[in-house]
Amino acid sequence: MAIRIALAGNPNCGKTTMFNALTGANQYVGNWPGVTVEKKEGKVKSKRAKGEEVIVTDLPGIYSLSPYTLEEVVSRDYILKENPDVIIDLVDATNIERNLYLTTQLVETGVPVVIALNMADLIAKRGMKIDTKRLSMLLGCPIVETSALKQTGLSELIDEAVKTAKKKEISLPGEIFSKEMESAVEEVKGLLPDSITDDKRRWYAVKFLERDNKVVESVKLPASDASAIEA
């Protein structure tokens, strides 16, 4: 079976450059089912794959997993319904605070995440340094410094993604929210139906607390439980 990697990131973070650098000519273009949004996939090689095919799917550039745009709907549906083996989250090191908003949502989906800290060389040129070890610990996922433009760190990135996919361990972030919010998340997780798998329960719980209508409508809860969450 093929190892499937989803490539995610904000618009204009260098994702197209990264996808082309990773796949070269080994890519094909189509449309996502039922929509006119372009879908690109490509094959990559990794010494860790041990003969298995590795396919990278380039998701539309998005700022969050809240489905306000068609691109966000496409990306969210792919991650939650198609269950890729691992997500490579491309983070622009020069605009890290904005990019990490999407990261915090991706690590809650139950799909293992590897962060590609792109344009890390530009940060170094400015005499700055990002504490990747500390950031990795807080987010619960490995980080690889890359430059899509200079094509550095790419082999390490794919090898780390394949390694993470094979381990099948979900990313477990530290406490992103306040203690009160984390307590509420745990409470809502306990109210969700058994049809939602353990790896997806946190993501659904957070979306319930955000009053995400599409998620709320997709999950059938007893009226008493729904009322308890809304309270």
Q: How many domains does the chain have?
A: 2
| pTM, rounded to two decimals | 0.87
N- to C-terminal Cα distance for the chain?
A: 45
Dist CA 110 CA 172 (whole Å) = 9
What's the pLDDT at 9?
Answer: 97
Tell me the residue range of the domain where 203 lies: 179-230
Q: Is residue 223 part of a domain?
A: yes
| Low-confidence spans in the chain with pLDDT less than 70 | 172-176, 223-226, 228, 230-231
> Are residues 131 and 189 both part of a single domain?
no
Q: Is residue 172 part of a domain?
A: no
* Burial of 111 from C-beta contacts in 10 A (0-12 / 13-18 / 19+): buried
- Of 147, 167, 187, the residue at which a domain comes to its end is 167
What's the pLDDT at 156?
Answer: 96
C-alpha closest to that of 82 among 186, 8, 188: 8
What's the pLDDT at 173?
Answer: 67
What's the pLDDT at 174?
Answer: 64
Residue 113 to residues 31, 32, 90, 136, 165: CA-CA distances in angstroms? Answer: 25, 22, 10, 11, 9
Dist CA 220 CA 192 (whole Å) = 9
The total of other beta-carbon atoms located within 10 Å of residue 61's CB is 18
Give the tokens for residue 118. 């792109």
- Of 124, 144, 167, the residue at which a domain comes to its end is 167
Helices 154-167 and 15-23 pack at an angle, to 10 degrees, of 90
What's the pLDDT at 78?
Answer: 94
What's the pLDDT at 223?
Answer: 67
Dist CA 126 CA 131 (whole Å) = 15
What's the pLDDT at 209?
Answer: 87
Dist CA 165 CA 202 (whole Å) = 20
> Are residues 92 and 198 both part of a single domain?
no
> Are residues 108 and 215 both part of a single domain?
no
> Are residues 30 and 78 both part of a single domain?
yes
Residue type at 111 in one-letter notation = V
